[in-house]
Structure 1
């Protein structure tokens, strides 16, 4: 007679009635892989004559060079430098090649699409209001944030950036004159800001002190000013949470996620995938504790908890839940590659 498909295989031809299960909860060190180099097009869909930024995420800290290529291959015949004004034939894929100090090469590909405007005017939205979009809105410390300018007038002759809800000279960060093509820095300039010719302002390696509002003042060829304000929110990196497991009842397991960071969200992970709760699983109101009642073989696997904020996230070390059939019950023997830290034994229903 074949055992039922949900049963675990045991040695020695023992009857399936009365088989004992051992649940071992094991912790092992798992190095967190380096985040992958990625490219985010801002915006993904662009009107012809507007600007597109290919924003790089997760670049290595020890880079010594960047190479950009048009299309999906790092072919020198397609090497490019930069694009400022997008045209319809710019649509397609772009590849970034980075080289680190130890000669490691990494590639990432991004795509954007350019559409022809149906209007004959330079400015497709002549009455649209000047706005600022932070990319991203919530940022982790030591990452980059772009204050992206939307709907700037086509007859703009100057961009002036200020820290705070003010245009006081003492709070000026940086300015750019289109007429003279010169950039001037102000008293609030930190050395980490880069101003683009479309008025967008990039902050590199942001700190918590960069949190707050920023004001852009534009000036057109009639010397008429226009103001817009954007906000940056910078958060500290989430510390790695710890995971502990207990079995106060012989047929259940409770795993608790511990974190010292305030305002975090907790997600449970099983075998590197978001855990799908079953009717035998229950979460505490703050999701910090996962309880499993009547543990079964299908519950076995590697558990982690993930602590996250809008800006960053990190996972605990993996905790293995192993459901193992052994005989005799008084001397359960675990496989040699598993070291038992806690175990519960009960009769399989």
Structure 2
């Protein structure tokens, strides 16, 4: 039976306009909702994707997409859902993202209504977590008319823990011993903690001195978590051989009070006896891996208020035996653009090969390309899209085609930075140099002609003197030729007893001109 060859077709696509996002709410509290995002685009027949903090959105059980992905619903909303959201519209020829829409945390801790008598209330049922660097607002829910609001960094009214006191009638604030310069008390009794640190974790108390009635005391507690650093993943081997040895994938750095998760192709790991997790899910060990374990791996770390994802790591499991007898020919690369500027794009690389059923990998500056959130591979890895492009993306790119028995890379294709020069200075072209030489020779000829004219004038004056002996006649050409070998003591002037000053000047100028003409002649001869 004849082998059926696949047929590829190219379809021209219109350029895409930037989409926009609408949201039913842009401020969230813990376990509230729903919040609905809608991606607005004037195009039809396009694909829509969602991004959170610049990375493709990881859907959870609380998130739901519409059939065409144009709307995203989160119900209930968690504090970690806050951040920048974008939607991306794409067709086979291009892709473009919307501007960011920020979903803000309502991190304020609401102090509950106080009892009619003096009591100490502990806040328990509302979120009490914040990340380093955030601002936290502690609100006063009391409606009673107050004379003085006093805040303490403690669960009791201890003077040395006093943050500050606000006098309502005068509008003055008196700072206490526990004031750090980042706290602000408002006329309604609220306390703002700016740019919180880990040291701000703990209990806070508010004392209200009322115009009528007994004082009230309210307490609350907040927790500040460290902002997670960028997560990275390391592997003991990127190209292990099938059924030989083990591979270990390590998620770094290790941070306290965080949870870790390993993913493959943006999904949870399958139930596989060859894959083993340890050290709080930070270490993934593959025992006697097979080609089924090949793919893109990454790790994710999370705290109650933030999360971090590593870049993808490609694990390529090689076969020990040659399964494909055909030898591979060198592929080639085509690019939609080979000169880039900062934050432009997209740039699309395409790996061209005549082979089917092969694996394709990408390399940058001789090393396997580490994918970032700005890079996207086609389903078969034959095309690489970068959008937007950064200056650090410039350099040499190669694609590699491989089967279990062999591999071969393409020649390098250079993605250049806009404005680069191959040399620190510009070099004149041969035509420009020729023009300069010709212009110099013409100038020399004109000066020589002027000198000759003055010489003839002087000669005519000497002819009027009967005792003057006239030099032998010569043609103009012979005279000009003699200038090339002229010296200041030329025989033409040997018998002259006295030479006028202008004739001496002409002689010196002529000597200088002839020297330049002789130099130009020697340069041309070389």
TM-score, normalised relative to structure 2: 0.37
Distance 1:319 1:106, change over 3 A: closer
Contact 2:276 2:284 in 1 (8 A): yes
Structure 1: unaligned runs, 5 residues or longer: 2-9, 12-37, 46-57, 60-104, 113-122
Per-residue CA deviations over 1:206-252 (Å, capped at 9, x if unaligned) read: 12332332221122233512222223333333333431224677236
Contact 1:133 1:147 in 2 (8 A): no
Matches within 5 A, 1:19-98: 39-40=27-28
SS of match in other structure, 1:277 = coil
Distance 1:225 1:124, change over 3 A: closer
Choose the corresponding residue for 2:271, options 267, 278, 294.
278
Per-residue CA deviations over 1:153-187 (Å, capped at 9, x if unaligned) read: 53444321012234234432123344455544333
Choose the corresponding residue for 2:324, options 314, 323, 327.
327
Structure 2 CA distance, aligned partners of 1:124 and 1:169? 22
Q: Partner residue of 2:138?
A: 147
Distance 1:232 1:320, change over 3 A: same
Q: CA RMSD in A?
A: 4.8
Structure 2 CA distance, aligned partners of 1:111 and 1:315? 20
Matches within 5 A, 1:115-194: 130-132=121-123, 137-150=128-141, 152=142, 154-194=144-184
**By how many angstroms is 1:310 displaced?**
3.3
Residues 208-217 or 238-247, more deviating: 238-247
Normalized per residue, the structure richer in helix is: 2
Distance 1:318 1:42, change over 3 A: closer
Matches within 5 A, 1:202-241: 202-241=192-231
Q: Partner residue of 1:337?
A: 362
Structure 1 CA distance, aligned partners of 2:181 and 2:126? 20
SS of match in other structure, 2:199 = helix
Q: Partner residue of 1:288?
A: 282
1:302 aligns with 2:290: no
**By how many angstroms is 1:44 displaced?**
6.0
SS of match in other structure, 1:173 = strand
Contact 1:284 1:290 in 2 (8 A): yes
1:250 aligns with 2:247: no
**By how many angstroms is 1:319 displaced?**
0.6
SS of match in other structure, 1:199 = coil
SS of match in other structure, 2:362 = coil
**By how many angstroms is 1:334 displaced?**
5.5
Larger Rg: 2
Contact 2:122 2:221 in 1 (8 A): no
Q: Partner residue of 2:263?
A: 269
Q: Partner residue of 1:316?
A: 310
Distance 1:193 1:270, change over 3 A: farther
Count of residue correspondences: 244
Highest relative contact order (Cα 8 Å, sep 6+), 1 or 2? 1
Contact 2:291 2:318 in 1 (8 A): no
Normalized per residue, the structure richer in strand is: 1
Per-residue CA deviations over 1:17-48 (Å, capped at 9, x if unaligned) read: xxxxxxxxxxxxxxxxxxxxx63359969xxx
Distance 1:134 1:169, change over 3 A: farther
Distance 1:318 1:156, change over 3 A: same
Structure 2: unaligned runs, 5 residues or longer: 7-25, 34-51, 54-98, 107-112, 330-357, 369-401, 406-526
TM-score, normalised relative to structure 1: 0.52
